[in-house]
Amino acid sequence: MPVITTIDDLKRIYRRRVPKMFYDYTESGSYTEQTFRDNTTDFGQLRLRQKVAVDMSGRSTAATMIGQPVTMPVALAPVGLTGMQSADGEIRAARAAEKFGVPFTLSTMSICSIEDVAQNTSRPFWFQLYVMKDEDFVDRIIDRAKAANCSALVLTLDLQIQGQRHKDLKNGLSAPPKLTLPVILDLATKWAWGLDMLGTKRRSFGNIVGHAKGVGDTSSLMSWTAEQFDQQLDWTKISRIRDRWGGKFILKGILDVEDARRAADFGADAIIVSNHGGRQLDGALSAIRMLPRIVDAVGDRVEVHMDSGIRTGQDVLKALAMGAKGTYIGRSFIYGLGAMGQAGVTKALEIIHKELDTTMALCGERDVLALRRENLLIPRDFSGNWA
């Protein structure tokens, strides 16, 4: 067994173990993948301020996200098709998150359904909603999330139409995979994944199949998005959804200062500064570059979270120091899940936690809640001078 010390180690094992189609789904950005790359490289532009001779004992990474206590402010982001990375992947990831004490967010486009996850976990999780044209379906899925005791609704705003990911088209991405010759040849080398998958009956979109009417190809995320997602989604519709839900409400996919102000006026419990991991509007700025401007614009009027590009505990520290109150990891936990199932998600969380904790200490901080911009060395033009 290799010694695993980084998220990248998990990624290497993941790549060997999981079919190419699902690895590529994770590892894609849209179009030229510029934003996908910038999300990670821009974290590298921020440097850390080393502080010495301060008492660094008794450190704490404990915080709250939307009022809920967390071991560290790092939630698992909603990721479509997670149950294709590892059998019953959403259940495995949710259990790891629950044990670690961080939120798990279930995607609408998950393989395990809301009910599957609820029956196999003991703490409330968060549910991420995509808004479909079929209002009846939307109402019913909101009610299902309520019935499952989900403790927040995360409404995604930046994927009403899909940014094209070339690899998914070329691979013929579907759940379950269609057995074409290239897929069969690939699966022949991924037998451990195949055996694991044979042990579950959950191999298609659990929240959709059997719940939605008039759907063409239920195995294809791309055709489902194109056919069903509501391109008329606007603030009036967001309001309707919030009223139907009636609980903690998070708006995901905000990358613009004016949109952030609007979300604060609207009274969301939190916003997630995000460009969907570089999977949607290629050419958009990285989330970490936009974060400080958005934090400065909304102040304390809404809790600001961020995702897109976090691969280390140092990235988490940088986002928090820039003013985020919470962060999310997507790919970083998927690598762990694909590599080692539930234990791999736990490993990813442990790696990030240890990096965050050690970096805090070396920055002379004992409390994650005390992190601030002074902990960073920020290039003067970091947010950019864009017209």
| Active-site residue, selected from the candidate residues 166, 211, 276, 305 | 276
Residues in contact with ligand GLV, counted by CB under 6 A, come to a total of 5
166 flagged as catalytic: no
Shortest Cβ 169–ligand GLV spacing (Å):
13
Using CB under 6 A as the binding rule, whether residue 159 contacts ligand GLV is answered as: yes
Shortest Cβ 123–ligand GLV spacing (Å):
24
Amino acid at 269: D
Residue 326 and residue 355 in contact, taking contact as beta carbons nearer than 8 Å:
no
Shortest Cβ 276–ligand GLV spacing (Å):
6
Which 45-104 positions form the footprint of ligand GLV (CB under 6 A)?
Answer: 80
3-state secondary structure (DSSP) of residue 312:
coil
SS3 content of the chain, % helix, strand, coil (to 5): 45, 10, 40
Residue 98 and residue 91 in contact, taking contact as beta carbons nearer than 8 Å:
no
Shortest Cβ 80–ligand GLV spacing (Å):
4
3-state secondary structure (DSSP) of residue 351:
helix
Q: DSSP string spanning 25-48?
A: HHT--STT-HHHHHHHHHHHH-EE
The DSSP secondary-structure symbol of 297 reads H
Which 246-285 positions form the footprint of ligand GLV (CB under 6 A)?
Answer: 276, 279
| CB closer to ligand GLV, 22 vs 193 | 22
Residue 307 and residue 334 in contact, taking contact as beta carbons nearer than 8 Å:
no
Nearest to 250 by CA among 79, 65, 69, 90: 65
| CB closer to ligand GLV, 45 vs 219 | 219
| CB closer to ligand GLV, 193 vs 205 | 205
| CB closer to ligand GLV, 80 vs 309 | 80
Binding mask 99-138 for ligand GLV (x = CB under 6 A): ----------x-----------------------------
Residue 305 and residue 273 in contact, taking contact as beta carbons nearer than 8 Å:
yes
Would you please indicate which residues are annotated as catalytic (active-site) residues? 276
Residues found near ligand GLV in the complex (CB under 6 A): 80, 109, 159, 276, 279
